[in-house]
Chain A
């Protein structure tokens, strides 16, 4: 599934990084601890978090992740948006909680 398809299925907001909407999603990772994501997430995954600062983009880029979903209506900071556009990694948002969006993600992308 592409990021665009996921965005439509879960009615996610796109904040930035539209160039990456065709990125293919191969799985997901859910964590607010950056070293946990750094150590355990993998390329092509969509990352669910409430962290909104720029370092999130640095990690998503270093890990070649497909997209980021910010939960609970958390809004990205300005420099986070800028880096998302620069890297072409979509930054998406939802009013859903981590629990709910993760459950729905699992249903959509489980193997």
Chain B
């Protein structure tokens, strides 16, 4: 199964829509609730990052029997130093975004904590690609 969702940079009123749709699909597939919860956290954070930092983005979701792969491709400023961005508390969010309660530097650490596999590649002034993989069977994580 393949699904795609568009994300509009700066439009916080739509933030979370794709995560919510993905959550519904996982529920329909009777995926373990703990896995759904972790997928939701990782996907929402990734989605909000595109809204908060990029100009636009697309989420590509691919389900198969063992896993779901959620790939977020954005056009945006990119991340110059991914290691630094992964640090808890590091944020480049605007003051407006912070006042909303976002931009506390917890998004990427939340993604790392909850995703079974997280891959981030980025090119400055071009964009960032985030790939979140979640395995439906817990054992698969240790393979």
What is A's interface to B at a CB cutoff of 8 Å?
A: 32-36, 38-39, 43, 49, 51, 53-55, 58-59, 61-63, 79
Contact = CB atoms under 8 A, between A and B. Distances in A.
A79 B102 contact: no
The 8 closest A-B pairs by CB, nearest first: A58-B16, A35-B106, A34-B101, A39-B110, A33-B104, A51-B101, A62-B40, A32-B101
B84 interface: no
Contacts of A34: 48, 100-102, 104
Contact of B13 (A36, A49, A54, A61): A54
Chain B interface residue count: which class? 20 to 34
Contacts of A54: 12-13
B114 to A, nearest CB: 8
29 contacts: A32-B101, A33-B104, A33-B106, A34-B101, A34-B102, A35-B48, A35-B102, A35-B106, A35-B107, A36-B104, A38-B41, A39-B106, A39-B110, A39-B114, A51-B100, A53-B100, A54-B13, A55-B12, A55-B16, A55-B100, A55-B101, A55-B102, A58-B15, A58-B19, A59-B16, A62-B19, A62-B40, A63-B37, A79-B13
B44 A62 contact: yes
A49 B113 CA distance: 24
A20 B56 CA distance: 35
Interface of B: 12-13, 15-17, 19-20, 23, 37, 40-41, 44-45, 48, 100-102, 104, 106-107, 109-110, 113-114
Say what secondary structure dominates the interface of chain B.
Answer: helix
Contacts of A62: 16, 19-20, 23, 40, 44
A12 B20 CA distance: 28
Nearest to A32: B101
Given A51-B100, A61-B20, A39 B12 contact: no
